[in-house]
Amino acid sequence: MPSLEEELFPSTPGKFKDRNRHFHRCFASTSTMFLWALFLIALTASYLCFQSFMDSGNRYFTATWGGHHWEKNVINSAQIRRSHGGMSVLVTGAAGFVGSHVSLALKKRGDGVVGIDNFNNYYDPSLKKARKNLLNQNSIFIVDGDINDSKLLVKLFDIARFTHVMHLAAQAGVRYAMENPGSYIHSNIAGLVTLLEVCKNSNPQPAIVWASSSSVYGLNEKVPFSESDRTDQPASLYAATKKAGEEITHTYNHIYGLSITGLRFFTVYGPWGRPDMAYFSFTRNILQGKPITVYRGKNRVDLARDFTYIDDVVKGCIGSLDTSGKSTGSGGKKRGPAPYRIFNLGNTSPVTVPMMVAMLEKHLKVKAKKNFVVMPGNGDVPFTHANISSARKEFGYKPTTDLQTGLKKFVKWYLSYYGYDQGKL
């Protein structure tokens, strides 16, 4: 048996030569393989880097939709299950306060509903997720996506031929506009235009009902606020984007024949509400024993709002969808005039903020610690009051819940959702 040394340095030169050549060949092929492997690893690594770069750019838009299972969910959810008529509605902002209620009401009567929401963190996204779960339990599918994602919207219209769009997605809130103005442009202007572009190109075009706001009345002092009153003096960027929305939708109605209904909501409140709104945050603070800040106008005048209960607003939304009339265009071409409507959806009985607080104290059985502060110039207006005769005439809109009754229902929901545990509230 050759020694290890002989193995490495054989005694016969010829043998050595052969072995040496063999050794070189082996070495050469091993190093080639090694280089190839290195090259392949580098290629894979750079591909993965590129892929993750592309993903991070498009993540906002493409991360969570697509695929066979996803399409099946959309188709099922959009299906109309009424024997006569019925509509298939794309509800934007479906994980939001109003969107979740409208989606449930439509589904309950057999209409097809598909939701879309980007689950942003303007307020606690876990509340949006909880609303989504509620909708899922009622066979409503919510797409996790942004209304600025035109590819996603085109895909949705391709697979589900929506007859109507209930457009509620928006950056809401008056004061937050001073902190994050860009978010209002992103959702309320750019998002709206993206949605309208897809709607006008689709064939058939859907009818669109969308949420404007009472805030468009801005510094208007004539009461009650009627649809024909001035709306060119907005007091906040939020109001300005809603007013812009009214003008933008008018353009799409005029050029492309889209049927448009704009709804000016007046301080909507109720179960599953928005944590950034005063009645909601007051409830939380009162239960936690924290003080609440109550704004007052000039000369210590109390602010007043035409608080409107969510069920009444839902009836208004559905009445608007049912009477919307058809869009006349197809594939981006107008074929005739289409309806363009604007309605106030309010309660017609304003209540002052201190009175609202007194109602909360009664239902919560806790006294509030109130700090009265002069209203800063941050976009709020002193009062709102809706004239609702147009909506009444057009689709029988008639609010039936007063603030006392509505707040009682809200408090009941609040306590059941957050529990009585003060630490959790």
- Interface with ligand NAD (CB under 6 A): 93, 95-99, 116-120, 128, 146-148, 168-172, 187, 191, 211, 213, 265, 267-268, 274
Q: Which of 335, 277, 325, 273 is nearest to 98 (CA)?
A: 273
Q: Give 210 or 395: the residue with its C-beta nearer to ligand NAD.
A: 210
Give the three-state DSSP class for 15: helix
Q: Give 258 or 314: the residue with its C-beta nearer to ligand NAD.
A: 314
Q: Give 334 or 383: the residue with its C-beta nearer to ligand NAD.
A: 383
CA angle in degrees (0–180, nearest 5) for 127-131-136: 145
CB of 423 to ligand NAD, least distance (A): 25
Q: Give 116 or 329: the residue with its C-beta nearer to ligand NAD.
A: 116
* 238 tagged catalytic: yes
- Please report, for residues 76, 119, 236, 251, 253, the alpha-carbon distance to residue 136 in angstroms, rounded to integers and kept in the order given: 12, 15, 36, 36, 33
Which distant-in-sequence residues (6+ apart) come within 8 Å of 221 by Cβ? Answer: none
Q: Give 169 or 240: the residue with its C-beta nearer to ligand NAD.
A: 169
Q: Give 19 or 311: the residue with its C-beta nearer to ligand NAD.
A: 311
247 — phi, psi (to 5°)? Answer: -70, -40
Q: Is 390 left (phi over 0), alpha (psi -120 to 50) or beta?
A: alpha
Structure tokens at 328: 């006349």
User: CB–CB of 259/325 below 8 Å?
Assistant: yes
Structure tokens at 88: 């298939």
Q: Give 96 or 329: the residue with its C-beta nearer to ligand NAD.
A: 96
User: CB–CB of 168/100 below 8 Å?
Assistant: no
- Please report, for residues 16, 45, 115, the alpha-carbon distance to residue 95 in angstroms, rounded to integers and kept in the order given: 79, 39, 8
List the catalytic residue out of 238, 252, 279, 309.
238
Q: How many residues can be counted in the chain?
A: 425
| Residue whose CB is nearest to ligand NAD in the complex, by number | 96
CA angle in degrees (0–180, nearest 5) for 103-104-107: 85
Helix-strand-coil split of the chain, %, nearest 5:
50, 15, 35
Give the three-state DSSP class for 213: strand
Q: Give 294 or 317: the residue with its C-beta nearer to ligand NAD.
A: 317
Which distant-in-sequence residues (6+ apart) come within 8 Å of 298 by Cβ? Answer: 382
Strand partners, 163: none
Q: What is the DSSP letter of 224?
A: S
Give the three-state DSSP class for 215: helix
Q: Which amino acid is at 271?
A: P
List active site positions.
238
